[in-house]
Amino acid sequence: MKRSLFIERVRSELRTRHYSLQTEKTYLYWIRHFILFNDKRHPEVMGNADIERFLSYLAVNRKVSAATQNQALCAIVFLYRYIIQRDTENLSYGFAKRPQNVPTVLAPNEVTAILNQLKGKYWLITALLYGCGFRIHEALSLRIKDIDPHNRSIFIFRGKGRKDRYTLLPEILVASIQHQMQEAQHVHEADLAEGYGSTSVPPALYRKYGKALTDFAWQYLFPSTTRCQHPYDNYICRHHLHSTAYAKHLRKAVKASNIHKRVTAHTFRHSFATNLLLNGSDIRTVQELLGHSDLRTTEIYTHVIGERRAGTRSPVDSLF
C-alpha cells in the first residue's frame, strides 16, 4: 500500500472514531515521523524494538518533554491497535511521568496591566479568560446562541473531554460582549450578501442542521478574518479566530506591561480559579466552573494560595 493511501486510511479511522481535528493532525504528524525515522518501512514489519528506538530518539536526541513523548506514544498505540490490529505489549518504555508543576498565576493588578495594553476583541477575550475561567479554545469557539445575558450565563459546548457545561457571565462584560456581537453580525451580513454565511460545525451537526447554520445565532462571537473550506464537508464557511492570532497580541501586551512571568492564555484560567478560592468560593463550585472531572485537578490551586501552609510563620520573621 502506498504511503499516502496508508495515511488516508489512518485519517479515516480517526474520523470514524470522532477524534478532534487537532488530535488528527497531531497523530498523523507522529505516525509520519515514526515511519520516516525507521527508513520508511511499513509499520506491519516493525515491532517493539523500532518503537523503543524512536521513543529513545525523541527523549535523548530531541530532548522532548514528557508530554510530547506521551503524545507520540499515543499516536503509535492508536496506529497498531486500530490500523495494524496488533497491540503494543511489553514495551520497555511506557508513558513518561509528567512533572506536577504548580501553575503560574497573576495578581489582579497584573491582569489589569495586561488588559490595559489590549484593545477590542483581544481585550474581551482576555477578560473572558480571566472572568470565566475558559480554556482558550472554549473562549474562541463561543457562538452567539451560547451567551445568555438575561440569566448571566454562558454555555460551553463540548469543552475538554467533550463535556458541556455552564459558567458565569460577568456583568461588567455584558456591554462589551453586545458590542462584539454587533461586529460579528456585520461580518455575517457581508458573508450573506456574497452568497455565503455558513459557520463551521462538526460533520454531524452540518448534516443535521444544514441551511440553519446561516442563522446569526450559530455564528462565532469571534469570527475569523477570512472564510475557509470545511476540512470534513468541503463547504465554504467562516471559522472562529485562530488561537495563534490571540497569542501574538497577548505576547506584545505582556511585554509592554513589564510583567516578568511566563504568561499564556491558560494563565488567566489559573488566575481565575486561584482568585475564587482566595475569596472564599467552595472548591466544588470552582471544579464545576472549570469543568474538571476530578477534584484532585482543582486542588492544585490550593497549593498556589498556600492553603496547607495557612498560619505558618517562617523562623526568620521572628528574628527581626
Give the 3-state secondary structure percentages of the chain, helix then strand then coil, rounded to 5: 60, 10, 35
Whether residue 158 lies inside any domain: the answer is yes
* Per-residue pLDDT tens digits for 228-262: 999 888 899 999 999 999 999 999 999 999 999 99
Strand partners, 236: 229
Do 273 and 189 sit in the same domain of this protein? yes
Estimate to the nearest angstrom the gap between the alpha carbon of 178 and the chain centroid.
25
Do 209 and 261 sit in the same domain of this protein? yes
CA torsion sign for 233, 237, 238, 242 is positive
Of 7-11, 168-172, 306-310, 314-318, the least confident: 306-310
Residue with cell 522532548: 64
| Angle, helix 108-115 to helix 120-132, in steps of 10 degrees | 160
Long-range contacts at 64-68 (CB < 8 A, ≥ 24 apart): 66/96, 66/97, 66/98, 66/99, 67/98
Whether residue 52 lies inside any domain: the answer is yes
Amino acid, res. 186: H
CA torsion sign for 50, 54, 59, 62 is positive
Is residue 307 very low, low, confident or very high in pLDDT (cuts 50, 70, 90)?
Answer: very low
Residue with cell 474562541: 140
Q: Look at the chain and count its residues.
A: 320
Where in the sequence is the domain holding 65, given as residue range(s)?
3-83
* Per-residue pLDDT tens digits for 15-41: 889 888 889 999 999 999 999 999 999
Do 132 and 79 sit in the same domain of this protein? no
Strand partners, 156: 165
Of 65-74, 139-148, 210-219, 285-294, the least confident: 285-294
> How does the average pLDDT of the chain come out, rounded?
87
Q: What's residue 275's pLDDT? A: 85
Do 118 and 42 sit in the same domain of this protein? no
- For residue 10, what is its C-alpha cell? 489512518
Whether residue 44 lies inside any domain: the answer is yes
Do 24 and 132 sit in the same domain of this protein? no
Do 138 and 13 sit in the same domain of this protein? no
Do 260 and 122 sit in the same domain of this protein? yes
Helix (H) or strand (E) holding 147: strand 147-148
Q: What does DSSP assign to residue 134?
A: -
Whether residue 320 lies inside any domain: the answer is no
Helix (H) or strand (E) holding 254: helix 243-256
Whether residue 7 lies inside any domain: the answer is yes
* Per-residue pLDDT tens digits for 211-228: 888 999 999 999 999 999
Do 167 and 43 sit in the same domain of this protein? no
> Is residue 72 within 8 Å of 99, Cβ to Cβ?
no
Q: Is the pTM of this model over 0.75?
A: yes
Radius of gyration of the chain (CA): 23
Residue with cell 460582549: 177
CATH number of the domain where residue 70 is located: 1.10.150.130
CA 230 – CA 232 distance, rounded (Å)? 6
Do 296 and 179 sit in the same domain of this protein? yes
Q: Secondary structure of 89-120 in the HEC alphabet?
A: CCCCCCCCCCCCCCCCCCCHHHHHHHHCCCCH
* Residues with catalytic function: 135, 160, 266, 269, 292, 301
Q: Secondary structure of 27-82 in the HEC alphabet?
A: HHHHHHHHHHHCCCCCHHHCCHHHHHHHHHHHHHHCCCCHHHHHHHHHHHHHHHHH
Do 78 and 190 sit in the same domain of this protein? no
Helix (H) or strand (E) holding 223: strand 223-229
Do 75 and 126 sit in the same domain of this protein? no
Q: What's residue 314's pLDDT? A: 59
CA 255 – CA 249 distance, rounded (Å)? 10
Strand partners, 168: 153
Residues 6+ apart with CB under 8 A from 102: 300, 303, 304
CA 173 – CA 131 distance, rounded (Å)? 9
CATH number of the domain where residue 172 is located: 1.10.443.10
Whether residue 96 lies inside any domain: the answer is no
Number of domains in the chain: 2
* Neighbouring C-alpha atoms within 13 Å toward the C-beta of 267: 19
Structure-model confidence comparison of residues 157 and 305, the more confident one: 157
Q: What's residue 213's pLDDT? A: 87
Mean pLDDT of 94-122: 85
pLDDT cut 90: percent of the chain above it = 58
Whether residue 290 lies inside any domain: the answer is yes
Look at residue 48 and tell me whether its pLDDT is greater than 50.
yes
Do 139 and 272 sit in the same domain of this protein? yes
CA 42 – CA 44 distance, rounded (Å)? 5
Whether residue 211 lies inside any domain: the answer is yes
